[in-house]
Structure 1
Amino acid sequence: MGIGIHGETQEEIQRIEIQADPTYEPDDEAAAGGEAAAAAAVGGEAAAACGEEENPTKKKTRKTTSDVWKHFTRGPVQPNRSYYGICNYCGEKYLQGQQRGTSSMRNHIDKKCNKIPRNKPEALQKLLQAKSGKKNALVAWRFDQMKCRKSLAKMVIAHEYPFSCRVFCLVLDNASSNDACISELLYSTPMKDDLPVEGKIFHQRCGCHILNLIVHDGLSTMHNEIDCIRETMKWIKHSQGRIEKFKLACSQINVPYKKPQWDVPTRWNSTYLMLELALELKPAIMRYASLDKKFSKALSDSQWGILKELVKHLKVFYEATLKLSGTKYPTLNLFFSEFCEVYLTIKRMASNEYPFIVNMGTQMHAKFNKYWSMGNSLLAIACVLDPRCKLDVVQYYMEEMCPDECEHFISNIRECMSELYNEYVKAKTEEQGAYDLNQPGMSKRF
């Protein structure tokens, strides 16, 4: 084998000369070999260019899938392959790794972190206030709960504001333990000196609770019909087969299907809703009784008539309960007129043509009289202070309810309001424009 001038072998020189010939055409084997060599050369150059940066055995970093990472930043990985999750709001750190979950971080976001912005209307309430430097300019003002707490604490501690003297009354139910508690507060502590009219209107009964007691006494005379409806609802809802049969009964008489529901015995409003639903589903229940031969709680036509009359009278109590238990508006000024409407309804029940309604009205009337004298003065005063009512509404209802006692009741209301007004005048003697309600002409304001 010979050696060329520039170090090539004789075979390489011959190959170069052949390829230089314009008539040369390489066969398939030679072409494939050339392409493979070229690809190997390119691959070698790419590998050399990348160096050792690519390591096929190195594991990729696992992606975080939990939504809690929206509130956390992943810290650098430690030599033991652990890392810290850092809160984006307060900077709190939580150790993470292969054997650790995200429960601690989620608990931090849900309960512990005080700096995370939350969509709370009470914390983000916006008001308008005048902006200094510009005439008639208004800007949005954001309520800060923490600043308000600090200001209140400063008012109480530094300025000694007597917020403890702002107690007007306590609203409680009729438990005997509450009566003992009220007596302890009034006569064993100095609180009585700070209460309006020496605590005469301090203890108030819950109006909705009184309505509940009144209706429960009335419903006790109607337990047979109510028990039949309750057992009917339970019977139909006992199994899926009975529910399907009840749906069939509804479809046969073209009545929209509604899921049977029974009441909670301790809540009379649920009893009213159960009876109202039963009357609405009356045709379907009667049809179901003909389909299910084992059903034995079917009501007669006379019993259905009793329930219809009962629901009509209970509707007044139900609507009054809804109105007095509202949370989006003041309710104290509504109690007097609503209780008077309830009393007039009970009074009309006493002259009803159905004996069972008369009996129920008698039971309700006894319970109403038991609680009417407890706190009705404050309810009447709240009604008088309502500019839509004033003393005229109180006088109208008292003439309808008990005309013999109307004049005496109105006189007591005037006297109680005079005491309240004069107490406020005495406490604010330094303010101008205060008048004694006993002065001539002042009573006309009411």
Structure 2
Amino acid sequence: MSQSEKASNRVGTPSCSQPISQHPEQEDQSVASTIASTAPSSSNKRSLAEVADENHPLVIALLKKLRTTRSPSWDEFTRKIIVEPDKDNPVKEVVVLMGECHHCKKLVPDCSEQGTTRLAQHLRICPQKPQNNPGQMKITTAVKKAGTNQVKLLNYKYDPIVTRNCLAKMIAKHDYPLNMVEHFYFRDFVKSLNPAARMPCRNTSKADVLRCYAEMKGELQLQLENLTSKCSLTTDMWTAKHTKDGYCCVTCHFIDDEWNLIAKTLAYIVVPSPHTGDVLSDFIKTCTLEWNIDRKFFALTADNAPANGVMMRNLINCLDGKNYLLLQGKLFHMRCSNHILHLIVLYGMKVAAVFIEGIRDCVKYVKSSQARKEKFETTLTQCRLSGEVSLDVDTRWNSTFTMLKNAIKLREGFHRLSEFDSDFDIMPSSEQWDQGIEICNCLEAFNNISTEFAGIKYPTSNLYYNGVYKINQSITSWEDSTFEYVREMGLKMREKFNAYWSESNLIMSIGVVLDPRYKEKWVRFTYKIIFGDNERASVEYEKFRIDLTKIFKAYESQNNTSAPALFSNSVSRMDVRGPGTTNPDYATFLLENDEYDVQKSELETYLEEPILPTVSPQDEYNFDILSWWKLSAAKYPILSKIARDVLAVPVTSVASESMFSDGGRVLTTHRALLSPELVQALLCLSDWLPGSFDADMEVID
């Protein structure tokens, strides 16, 4: 080796001659902080070096002497040049050649007297490098797709890092306890799959969960940062068992560039008591700033609790003060439709409750003991009926609906039970059964609508208006019922319906206008029915048209350009061509006689076009409105942006099964005892991770 090559490692100090360290974890303790942190791509693995300061004189001198690396060891290292103070003379600077490991990012000195021995030694003991043992067996597995004869051979090798990542995701997704990694038979099971597998401890699994959470959070933050549309949020409160801490869940809803509706959980944070509006608004502000979506915040869906009203006012004042909201925040507050529906039904059930007591008593009798339950099952067998009965919860009207539905189906079984069981002397009369049937039919209408509102995989804002219209029609029919108890129930529900309808009808109306099957003609028609065919319906409709036009103009100005007009029978002033049109007197004559019209806006063109025909009532649910707007975005560039923001607004803050659960939303026992940071990581990961695997792949021998 020439003297110049020996000197190429270090300029300004003696060459590296210290003994090889037996402790690789200490190898990078003396590294200066001037090193570049960017990892190389595969195309420049053998480039000369990554340089901290290209203009440094010592670096320039060293670069002239460097040669391209040839050893295969460098395929797993990046050469770096570092400037640091001389150990013997701190005033003097020296440059040092180091190699950064691609696996663990540790820095290994590049000592040319020893060749690449130092690098090779590190690779043999690197804790992050998979398959350190060159003799490790590779397993070939044959897989095929179900229903086909195509077989594919896949090579498998054990990677502890991959295994730990999979374990952390499994724990988060399937709600497993962290200490399952210490369960004897689980460890025994893993050993049976691969004897070389090393199970991590509970603390290591906890660290793996937090690391996976941080990685996926970074990916989601980047997705939201690059989002070209606005997003809407929903809030929901959870309760932890034992600790009774209140967790606030925030979920972000948006439509991506491919027009897919996305819902991602952003936070599960402990909210200190009392849960006042000021506390909740501060929490939402912190969350939006952390995720950098305050400028893209379009709407917030929350239930009708008093504290949420204060929260909404605080947020609107804050965001509107920064000009982030449209129409001074008129579209911002979306009241949870299922919560409003819940309040309307409970208000009406106060009247109807007394008429279903007889049926409830029958169910209580059957459920009171195992012997009575078995006797009832025997009578059902004799009647050739099948099914079970369930008790309801007073505060959950959907449980009352389920109780009535199941009991009415087994009505003949109750009648047979009264004949053979002398203790069963509470059989309802035929009139009471008929009353139960009428009330059950009323509740079924609300149950169907609440299920429609609770969708998170399809847009609901365009369906909300029609659902509310159905509720109005149902209440109207109950008000005209021949049964007094049904009329009283309908009148009670009407009071609550009118109170909430006026507070959310703007965003509901815009959502249905953006549905090409309905547009504004449907709004005009339903306003006359809901408000009455009088002057108020016309006034409310004109208010809506004014707000709709303001929103369109706001989006038009945000895009800094006017969308190209689309028209059929009208032409613009600038595009008129023909004999004599260059004559100013003739042009004035044409204008005065309305021979050609001014340019129409994109909104006017869309509203004037015929509505999209529907073949059957089922089309209301099968129609893919996002695909329609994706295909129509080129024709309606401004309206498509409005549709992308409005259709992403969820009309309910929770799924219906959670909204109507008997105990509210509650964290499981083993998660409730974890730290708040770990709870957030587990629950967010559970939401972010996909919920299925490639089920059409099966392993064959």
Given the two structures, how large is their TM-score scaled by the length of structure 2?
0.42
Higher strand content, 1 or 2: 2
User: Could you tell me which residue of structure 2 aligns to residue 287 of structure 1?
Assistant: 416
CA distance in 2 between partners of 1:292 and 1:272 (Å): 27
User: Could you tell me which residue of structure 1 aligns to residue 461 of structure 2?
Assistant: 332
Would the aligned equivalents of 1:421 and 1:437 in 2 still touch at CA under 8 Å?
no
Would the aligned equivalents of 1:249 and 1:288 in 2 still touch at CA under 8 Å?
yes
Tell me how far 1:420 sits from its aligned partner.
0.8
Deviation digits for residues 271-293 of structure 1 (CA, Å, limit 9, x no counterpart): 11110111101111122123222
CA 1:338–1:150 in 2, change beyond 3 Å: closer, same or farther?
closer
What amino acid is aligned across from residue 548 of structure 2 in structure 1? M
CA distance in 2 between partners of 1:261 and 1:151 (Å): 46
User: Could you tell me which residue of structure 2 aligns to residue 429 of structure 1?
Assistant: 560
Q: Which runs of 5+ in 1 are unaligned?
A: 1-62, 76-102, 118-143
Within the candidate set 396, 400, 406, 1:267 is matched to 396
CA distance in 1 between partners of 2:495 and 2:227 (Å): 49
CA distance in 1 between partners of 2:479 and 2:227 (Å): 57
User: Could you tell me which residue of structure 1 aligns to residue 479 of structure 2?
Assistant: 350
CA distance in 2 between partners of 1:177 and 1:345 (Å): 31
The farther-off stretch of 429-438 and 292-301 is: 429-438
CA distance in 2 between partners of 1:205 and 1:363 (Å): 20
Pair 1:305 & 2:427 matched: no
Deviation digits for residues 105-127 of structure 1 (CA, Å, limit 9, x no counterpart): 3757975546999xxxxxxxxxx
CA distance in 1 between partners of 2:347 and 2:186 (Å): 62
Tell me how far 1:241 sits from its aligned partner.
0.5
Would the aligned equivalents of 2:393 and 2:400 in 1 still touch at CA under 8 Å?
yes
CA distance in 2 between partners of 1:349 and 1:187 (Å): 41
Would the aligned equivalents of 2:319 and 2:325 in 1 still touch at CA under 8 Å?
no
User: Could you tell me which residue of structure 2 aligns to residue 276 of structure 1?
Assistant: 405
User: Could you tell me which residue of structure 1 aligns to residue 546 of structure 2?
Assistant: 415
Within the candidate set 315, 321, 336, 1:185 is matched to 315
5 Å-filtered alignment, 1:81-96, equals none
Give the structure with higher Rg (CA).
1
CA distance in 1 between partners of 2:463 and 2:186 (Å): 57
Deviation digits for residues 311-366 of structure 1 (CA, Å, limit 9, x no counterpart): 22222111111111122211111011111111011111111111111111111111
The farther-off stretch of 64-73 and 354-363 is: 64-73
CA 1:416–1:230 in 2, change beyond 3 Å: closer, same or farther?
same
Would the aligned equivalents of 2:388 and 2:406 in 1 still touch at CA under 8 Å?
no
* Identical amino acids, percent of aligned pairs: 27
CA distance in 1 between partners of 2:365 and 2:308 (Å): 41
5 Å-filtered alignment, 1:46-195, equals 66-69=188-191, 74=196, 105=200, 107=202, 112-113=207-208, 147=219, 149=221, 163-188=293-318, 193-195=323-325
Tell me how far 1:441 sits from its aligned partner.
6.6
User: Could you tell me which residue of structure 1 aligns to residue 385 of structure 2?
Assistant: 255
Tell me how far 1:71 sits from its aligned partner.
7.3
Tell me how far 1:416 sits from its aligned partner.
0.9
Pair 1:370 & 2:499 matched: yes
Deviation digits for residues 357-399 of structure 1 (CA, Å, limit 9, x no counterpart): 1111111111111111001111011000011211122222223
The farther-off stretch of 319-328 and 221-230 is: 221-230
Q: Which runs of 5+ in 2 are unaligned?
A: 1-184, 229-290, 566-598, 611-701
CA distance in 2 between partners of 1:148 and 1:171 (Å): 21
Would the aligned equivalents of 1:218 and 1:361 in 2 still touch at CA under 8 Å?
yes
Would the aligned equivalents of 1:185 and 1:191 in 2 still touch at CA under 8 Å?
no
CA distance in 2 between partners of 1:72 and 1:353 (Å): 73
Would the aligned equivalents of 1:255 and 1:284 in 2 still touch at CA under 8 Å?
yes
CA 1:165–1:146 in 2, change beyond 3 Å: closer, same or farther?
closer
User: Could you tell me which residue of structure 1 aligns to residue 446 of structure 2?
Assistant: 317
Q: Secondary structure at the match of 2:200?
A: helix
Would the aligned equivalents of 2:564 and 2:602 in 1 still touch at CA under 8 Å?
no
What amino acid is aligned across from residue 66 of structure 1 in structure 2? D
CA 1:419–1:350 in 2, change beyond 3 Å: closer, same or farther?
same
CA distance in 2 between partners of 1:192 and 1:298 (Å): 65
CA distance in 2 between partners of 1:438 and 1:354 (Å): 51
Pair 1:223 & 2:318 matched: no
Would the aligned equivalents of 2:327 and 2:551 in 1 still touch at CA under 8 Å?
yes
Pair 1:235 & 2:330 matched: no
CA distance in 2 between partners of 1:230 and 1:384 (Å): 44
User: Could you tell me which residue of structure 2 aligns to residue 379 of structure 1?
Assistant: 508
Tell me how far 1:162 sits from its aligned partner.
6.9
What amino acid is aligned across from residue 203 of structure 1 in structure 2? H
Q: Secondary structure at the match of 2:503?
A: coil
User: Could you tell me which residue of structure 1 aligns to residue 337 of structure 2?
Assistant: 207
The CA RMSD over aligned residues, in Å, is 3.6
CA distance in 1 between partners of 2:296 and 2:331 (Å): 14
Tell me how far 1:201 sits from its aligned partner.
2.1
What amino acid is aligned across from residue 389 of structure 1 in structure 2? Y
Would the aligned equivalents of 1:437 and 1:443 in 2 still touch at CA under 8 Å?
no
CA distance in 2 between partners of 1:201 and 1:173 (Å): 16
CA distance in 2 between partners of 1:66 and 1:162 (Å): 46
CA distance in 2 between partners of 1:344 and 1:290 (Å): 42
CA 1:283–1:387 in 2, change beyond 3 Å: closer, same or farther?
same
Paired residues in the alignment total 327
Given the two structures, how large is their TM-score scaled by the length of structure 1?
0.65
Pair 1:406 & 2:537 matched: yes
User: Could you tell me which residue of structure 2 aligns to residue 244 of structure 1?
Assistant: 374
CA distance in 2 between partners of 1:426 and 1:343 (Å): 37
CA 1:323–1:188 in 2, change beyond 3 Å: closer, same or farther?
closer
Higher helix content, 1 or 2: 1
Q: Which has the higher contact order (CA 8 A, sep 6+)?
A: 2
Pair 1:197 & 2:327 matched: yes
CA distance in 2 between partners of 1:287 and 1:105 (Å): 61
